[in-house]
Amino acid sequence: MTLRARLALLTSAAVALAVVAASVAAWLLIRSSLLDEIDQRLLARVPDIEEMAQTAENLPDGSRQRISLVAGNEPLGLQTITPDGSVEPGLPPGNEPDALVLDEEERRMLDGEIESPLLRNEVVDGVDVRVMTAALERGGALRLVQPLDGVERTLTRIAWLLAGITGVGVAAAAALGWTTARTGLRPIDRLVDAAEQVATTKDLAHRIDPPGNARDEVARLAGSVNAMLAALEDARTQQRQLVEDAGHELRTPLTTLRNDLGVLLRSEQHPDRTLTPSDRAGLLRDLEAEAAALSDMVGEIVELARGGTEPEPPLETDLRALVERAVARTRRVDPAVTVTVAGRPFEAVVRPVVLERAVANLVRNAVQVSPPGGVVDVLLDETALGARIRVLDRGPGISDADLPRIFDRFYRGQAARERHGSGLGLAIVAQAADLHGGSVTGSRRKGGGAAFTLVVPVRQAEPAILSPLLDRP
């Protein structure tokens, strides 16, 4: 069942139930009013019961039927109950003594325990009647029997009338529900058409015009869809850019590998082109270096492409130990360069693998640009903004032209082009900073060299949470 059909059905059912409930309530109210009116008419005859009882006793048996038709201008039966509880023949309906059984409350009235008139419903000869029993001053009681067939006919006519009104109301409710569903879902239809157009054309730049008021739920849904399309468009643009840049960057090492392998293969196939042992060794070293550089580049491209799609859970980590592990990973880059770590140990909730890789990339870059015997300082401290990790080197520094782009993917400054690298290390650092909700900046160090500052917001672990899967920043 479609959403439109469900909405129309629910709306129609709600209105139909309201109409039916109103009709039933109206019928019950009318019935109660008619019965109450009959009770009031019967109670209004209480002052005359003595006279009515005397008249009924003095009537000859043959005239009872004729006189009963004009008693009170409506059919009204009379029955006299003697003080000993016997019922005498009276005016129809109920002229037979056993037509109405003497009940317990009437017996109590005869015993003087009840003085007020009694009202109840009975059935006489298949006809519903209303019976009022009132005590007589000389003892005994008098019954007034009011047939309810007129009231029942009136209630039946009213019931049929209300049933017709209810049927019309239900039909109108169905039409109203269908119209309401169509009108209410028309903006949804336009939204679906726009979304299907995007799915068909693959045009993520298309935007859906929000219908109605800006506070309307459909308008908010359209805004959410537009935000999703913008995010998808941005992700696809970044993916395309990454693929294009990766293809461009991979072309150079692959070409070099292919050329070197071609030279080596031709030397094996043609004896006149045999390489000297030193040339062959140098060629093999170049192939190994290019293969290692290509492997590093592919790993960094994969890491960058994964981004934050499956981020590791935040863990409470000792940042001093994390920085020292990152430094240890880079000591073999250039053993002639000394790396020092300064800063007190403190703990924070971070993504340790991602952050350690980012710090290692900063330190590796600093070691690579440092001269032999140089020193790289890694400083760790805690500020109002969070944990701050600074990496200071004494290399050539960063030029003014390179500063705005040093964290771009595959960007390599003039000084970096002289050594192996992919231009992805700092981009991975920037990605790690974004994943933590922090920042990374680069600047020129006083006295020469470069200074990189990575700031990560510090969050303490919640004591009640024992699982390492803490809330994500």
Q: Which residue has the tokens 């643009």?
A: 237
Structure tokens belonging to residue 66: 């004729």
> Which residue, among 411, 384, 376, 187, has the nearest Cα to 304 in the 3D structure?
411
Residue type, 178: W
DSSP annotation of 84: T
pLDDT digits (tens, 9 = 90+) for 337-372: 899 999 999 988 998 888 888 898 899 888 888 888
Distances (CA, A) of 363 to 88, 348, 373, 443: 121, 21, 15, 15
Mean pLDDT of 300-314: 65
CATH number of 312-456: 3.30.565.10
pLDDT digits (tens, 9 = 90+) for 160-208: 998 888 888 888 878 877 887 777 777 777 777 777 877 787 777 777 7
CATH number of 217-305: 1.10.287
Lowest mean pLDDT among 132-146, 151-165, 212-226, 296-310: 296-310
pLDDT > 70? residue 81:
yes
139-153, 266-280, 314-328, 415-429: which has the highest mean pLDDT? 314-328
DSSP annotation of 191: H
CATH 3.30.450.20 fits 3-154, yes or no: yes
Q: What is the pLDDT of residue 413?
A: 57
pLDDT digits (tens, 9 = 90+) for 410-438: 665 555 444 555 567 788 788 888 888 89
Q: How confident is the model at residue 323 (pLDDT cuts 50, 70, 90)?
A: very high
pLDDT > 80? residue 94:
no
Q: Rounded CA gap, 90 and 100, in Å?
A: 11
What percent of the chain lies above the pLDDT cut of 70?
78
Q: How confident is the model at residue 269 (pLDDT cuts 50, 70, 90)?
A: confident
For residue 87, which phi and psi values (nearest 5 degrees)? -105, 125
Q: What is the pLDDT of residue 381?
A: 92
Helix (H) or strand (E) holding 121: strand 118-124
For the chain, what are the domain ranges? 3-154, 217-305, 312-456
Q: How confident is the model at residue 321 (pLDDT cuts 50, 70, 90)?
A: very high
